[in-house]
Structure 1
Amino acid sequence: MDQAIRGRRWLLAALLVAAAAGLVRAPLEPRWWWASALAILLFSAPVIVGAVRWLGVRRGVALLLGLGLYAVVFESVAVATGVPYGRFSYSGVLGPPMLGLVPPTVLLAWTPLLLGSLASTRRAWQAVVLVVVCDLVLDPAAVSLGFWAWDDPGRYYGVPLVNFLGWVVSGGIAVLALRRLPRPLPALFARNLWLVLVFWTAVNAWSGQWLAALVGVVAVAALSRGYGRAP
């Protein structure tokens, strides 16, 4: 899988840009939630494979499950109380919510961003910054597609400032908790993050959200330097 992603970088990027255009022009409805779940699984697959190869089956699965549950807890608390991301709700496009809070796809959606950020940086603070940058690209795009929405929308394409402060908190805690992971992390994580950012940057561009698209272009360009490094 790593060789496929590494060797077909621009082909995969072109396919993702085209997919983003189709999604913007024909947004998914809640009854098509399985399609969005499949897309999240595809974006997560390189991280799942990479974690198992890197740490072994038991430790790799434990890491993925732990990070998935961590994300579910943080987002569930935010949906219920507004802390730390601000009060928001899911539309159902990503799947039926568990206990009326978050869809099961949250178990997979956040982990590629975190591990990709750790694999792309050398210092903990850089990883936290990159996680937040990812959200500056992802959240406006997801809001434009109707995946979720805040009760009190912010000026940044409907995303409030408190959300990004919340990502500093959740990302910072996770980065510190994972500081003892073996280094370096698999380059596959970084390459996968590059592709994820290409997709969400394209969604913003096709949606006319130019500031978010610009943030994405800068992030993609910055991460391009490390895309081809050896595993």
Structure 2
Amino acid sequence: MVFGLVGILLVVPNAEVIFHLSEIGQTAMQWSMAGGGVVYMILGTAAVFLYGLRILGLGRTLAFMLPAVLISLSSELLGTSTGFPFGHYSYLSGLGYKIAGLVPFTIPLSWFYVGCVSYLLARAGLEVDKKPSLWRHIGAISLGALMLTSWDFVLDPAMSQTALPFWYWQQPGAFFGMPYQNFAGWLGTGSVFMTVAALLWKNNPIKLERSQLNVPLVVYLSNFGFATVMSLAAGFSIPVLLGLLLGVAPAVAFWLKASAAPTQVTVEPAAQEVSVASVKVALK
């Protein structure tokens, strides 16, 4: 992330900086600009997948990953082709090979790993698996999708209007260049694949304690931090404040609400007393 931020915010607006770098530095900056965004998303995906493999197991991890990737890719392909559900936009180069010439392969991966950590935090914070109910499930899906969308509040204005944009809006909207329809598309897409995952996890509940939610919290906050630096550098402070309120605050609150440690029941060893009766033996 830091590597990418240096390239986008420092080198691109000030190209002359490159001439003051050593040969190794120039090569590093070329790598950063050529594949920094791709590597960033691949590493994020790998981190969350390995976390899921260790904490959730392969079955539950794939039960979230596959719907997230396939459903988000379908939404992105539909959006870049028709304008529904996000609005009319197109991806530029910089985020890797484009599927069907429209959507970079890294985009569905980012939906997966940010969506996964958002949903896990919301699910654990609302104690869905400890006190299961329909309303808790609905709440976890709704708040998980809101936290995912809050990341986009901060990311989208900066990434589409930076000196080296990664996508652009053919019909800019009222929210710092984004149409409000975009948020509805994010909420809807996130809610759909989180619902599918919840149904697939129905008979296989997960009970995470706070220490097991450290990685989801760090992944969410670090991605939000990346977007925040980009937005503030572009002069967008209101999206950051909105994201802090609707994304970061719930994420931290859910992490704090999760139990610090599994409940332990102490069993005192029972005192055992053996009575021995006196026996008199008469000998003849």
- 1:136 pairs, out of 153, 168, 177, with 153
- 1:24 pairs, out of 1, 4, 9, with 9
Q: Does the CA contact (< 8 Å) of 2:7 and 2:33 recur in 1? A: no
Which ranges in structure 2 are unaligned for 5 or more consecutive residues?
Answer: 13-28, 127-138, 262-284
- 2:222 pairs, out of 171, 189, 195, with 195
Which moves more between the two structures, 55-64 or 32-41?
55-64
CA distance change for structure 1 residues 101 and 19 in 2, over 3 Å: closer, same or farther?
A: closer
CA distance change for structure 1 residues 171 and 220 in 2, over 3 Å: closer, same or farther?
A: same
SS in 2 for 1:179: helix
Larger Rg belongs to: 2
Q: Does the CA contact (< 8 Å) of 1:36 and 1:94 recur in 2? A: yes
- 1:143-162 map, 5 Å: 143-145=160-162, 146-162=165-181
Q: Does 1:175 align with 2:213?
A: no
Give how far 1:153 is off: 0.6
Give how far 1:22 is off: 4.7
Q: CA RMSD in A?
A: 2.8
Which moves more between the two structures, 151-160 or 210-219?
210-219
Give how far 1:227 is off: 5.4
CA distance change for structure 1 residues 184 and 132 in 2, over 3 Å: closer, same or farther?
A: farther
State the number of aligned residues. 216
Q: Matched residues in 1 for 2:207 and 2:157: separation? A: 31
Q: Matched residues in 2 for 1:129 and 1:75: separation? A: 18
SS in 1 for 2:168: strand
CA distance change for structure 1 residues 148 and 191 in 2, over 3 Å: closer, same or farther?
A: same
Give how far 1:19 is off: 5.5
Which moves more between the two structures, 173-182 or 35-44?
173-182
Q: Matched residues in 2 for 1:190 and 1:131: separation? A: 13
Q: Does the CA contact (< 8 Å) of 1:68 and 1:108 recur in 2? A: yes
- 1:58-97 map, 5 Å: 59-61=60-62, 63-97=64-98
Q: Does the CA contact (< 8 Å) of 2:98 and 2:104 recur in 1? A: yes
CA distance change for structure 1 residues 132 and 108 in 2, over 3 Å: closer, same or farther?
A: same
Give how far 1:78 is off: 0.4
Q: Does the CA contact (< 8 Å) of 2:69 and 2:109 recur in 1? A: yes
1:135-194 CA-partner distances (Å, limit 9, x unpaired):
211211221231111110112221111111111211221222122433346512232111
Q: Matched residues in 1 for 2:194 and 2:90: separation? A: 26
Give how far 1:109 is off: 1.2
Q: Does the CA contact (< 8 Å) of 1:141 and 1:200 recur in 2? A: yes
Q: Does the CA contact (< 8 Å) of 1:21 and 1:202 recur in 2? A: no
Q: What residue in structure 2 maps to residue 220 of structure 1?
A: 248
Q: Matched residues in 1 for 2:188 and 2:248: separation? A: 24
Q: Does the CA contact (< 8 Å) of 1:191 and 1:227 recur in 2? A: no
Q: What residue in structure 2 maps to residue 127 of structure 1?
A: 144
Q: What residue in structure 2 maps to residue 43 of structure 1?
A: 44
Give how far 1:35 is off: 1.9
Q: Matched residues in 1 for 2:63 and 2:37: separation? A: 25
Q: Does the CA contact (< 8 Å) of 2:147 and 2:250 recur in 1? A: no
Using structure 1 for the length normalisation, give the TM-score: 0.80
Using structure 2 for the length normalisation, give the TM-score: 0.67
Give how far 1:77 is off: 0.7
User: Where is the helix percentage greater, Structure 1 or Structure 2?
Assistant: 1
Give how far 1:50 is off: 1.3
Give how far 1:62 is off: 5.3
